[in-house]
Amino acid sequence: MGNFNLAPPQASENAVWHDAVFYTLTALTVAFTLLVGFLVIFFAIRYRQGSKVNRQRPVYEHLLLELTWTVIPLILGVIMFVVGAKLFVDLRTPPKDSMEIYVVGKQWMWQIQHPTNGVRENNTLHVPIGKPVKLIMISQDVTHAFYIPAFRVQYHVVPGRYTDVWFTPSKTGTYPIYCGMYCGTQHSEMTGQVVVMEQAEFAEWLDNGGNDVQPSDLITAGHDLFKKLNCGSCHGVNDTIQGPTLQGLYGKMRKFENGGSKVADDAYIRESIVRPYEHIVSGYGREMGAYDDRPEEDILRLTAYIKSLGTGNPTGKTIDENEPHKGSTPAPRSHENPIATGAISHELKAGKK
């Protein structure tokens, strides 16, 4: 409960005003509710049937009292209206010099593109501190709502029409993005984060093409995906207990647990990722989960990357993110390849099942 907050941090210039209006309205509402409630109860008790109070001269009119309870709330109401209306109009009027960023909402993710150099990011939005940012938004399917509580902004993201929302970040850090409009099964998972950076840092980030820039070639994209999906935790530079190496796999003859064999071509690699249990490599078990929920595009990328590690290793790439599960049996070196000695299948069968 240590970091339980009643309200999100105020990370945009408008958040301060938003909260001022919100809390003032809340305080006024509570104050008047208490005042009226108190008077109701007080008079109900004082003038209850049979109480011995003086009822000789009832008051039917009292101009000063009536003016007081009319004019004071009127003034307060007008002040709140003017401040609230100004805030509302400001919020709907992005400054002319705003930095523009495009946002596409779709079930169930946010795709973001920076127009200056086309940097794209998914579910992450990098913005500089102290500069007005205008998001131009549209939906690819149903109505969503782009919501950043720390900035106190939310606006509809509608199919077939551009909408916009703007803010000036005032505090560096990472804050959540939510979808604020129910949009189907995984609506609650349609989240992301906005990263507020120092201006210089942001300029550098943008110049470097962003962290999540989509690589244009398949192999690099496949390599990124390989890292992201943690394939390297089982597939390293050498065969290990966790899994066979994919180095030089393409075009190699594979032997299977059930006795069959096959040349590792594109189709085999695809099948090994999507339905790994179809052909279990000799010496291993059904350790690998099926990646059958990935789009074909991803499988293509992974296949291209694995091919690039192929016989002869034309790109000179090696799998570098090989970090077999920490705390498990240390990875055997290739010169003592347990598959060659047949040791691994015993170990696997004895230890893992």
Distance between the two ends of the chain, CA-based, in angstroms?
A: 40
Residue 307 as a binder of ligand HEC (CB under 6 A): the answer is no
Which residue of 236, 244, 332, 338 would you call a contact of ligand HEC, by CB under 6 A? 244
Window 67-96: contact mask with ligand HEC (x via CB under 6 A):
------------------------------
Which residue of 302, 309, 339, 344 would you call a contact of ligand HEC, by CB under 6 A? 302
Which run of H or of E encompasses 70?
helix 63-91
Residue 252's nearest CA partner among 242, 241, 240, 239 is 239
Residue 144 near which of ligand HEC, Cu ion, none (CB within 5-8 Å, type-dependent): Cu ion
CB 199 within 8 A of CB 130: yes
CB 11 within 8 A of CB 171: yes
Name the pairing type of β-strands 144-148 and 153-157: antiparallel
Q: Alpha-carbon torsion 167, 163, 139, 183, what sign?
A: positive
Which residue of 126, 152, 223, 235 would you call a contact of ligand HEC, by CB under 6 A? 235
CB 134 within 8 A of CB 164: yes
Residue 125 as a binder of ligand HEC (CB under 6 A): the answer is no
Which residue of 254, 274, 337, 345 would you call a contact of ligand HEC, by CB under 6 A? 254
In terms of CB distance, is 55 or 353 closer to ligand HEC?
353
Which residue of 18, 114, 144, 235 would you call a contact of Cu ion, by CB under 5 A? 144
Smallest distance, Cu ion to C-beta of residue 149, A: 15
Smallest distance, ligand HEC to C-beta of residue 240, A: 9
In terms of CB distance, is 112 or 306 closer to Cu ion?
112
Tokens representing residue 75 in the block? 């003034």
Span from 19-27, 64-72, 155-163, 269-277 in contact with ligand HEC (CB under 6 A): 269-277
Residue 276 as a binder of ligand HEC (CB under 6 A): the answer is yes
Residue 300 three-state SS: helix
In terms of CB distance, is 66 or 323 closer to ligand HEC?
323
Q: Where are the beta strands (DSSP E) in the chain?
A: 99-106, 109-113, 120-122, 124-128, 133-139, 144-148, 153-157, 163-167, 173-179, 192-197, 253-255, 261-263
CA distance readout (Å), 291 to 8, 254, 277, 288, 316: 37, 20, 11, 9, 27
In terms of CB distance, is 73 or 342 closer to ligand HEC?
342
Residue 190 near which of ligand HEC, Cu ion, none (CB within 5-8 Å, type-dependent): Cu ion
Q: d(Cα 132, Cα 118) in Å, to the nearest integer?
A: 19
In terms of CB distance, is 186 or 341 closer to Cu ion?
186
Residue 120 as a binder of ligand HEC (CB under 6 A): the answer is no
In terms of CB distance, is 154 or 337 closer to Cu ion?
154
Residue 179 as a binder of Cu ion (CB under 5 A): the answer is yes
Name the pairing type of β-strands 124-128 and 192-197: parallel
In terms of CB distance, is 178 or 284 closer to ligand HEC?
284
- What secondary structure does DSSP assign to 165-185, as a single string? EEE-B-S-EEEEEEE-S--ST
Span from 17-25, 92-100, 187-195, 244-252 in contact with ligand HEC (CB under 6 A): 244-252
The residues binding Cu ion (CB under 5 A) are 144, 179, 183, 190
The residues binding ligand HEC (CB under 6 A) are 229-231, 233-235, 242-244, 246, 249, 254, 264, 269, 272-273, 276, 279-281, 284, 287-288, 291, 302, 306
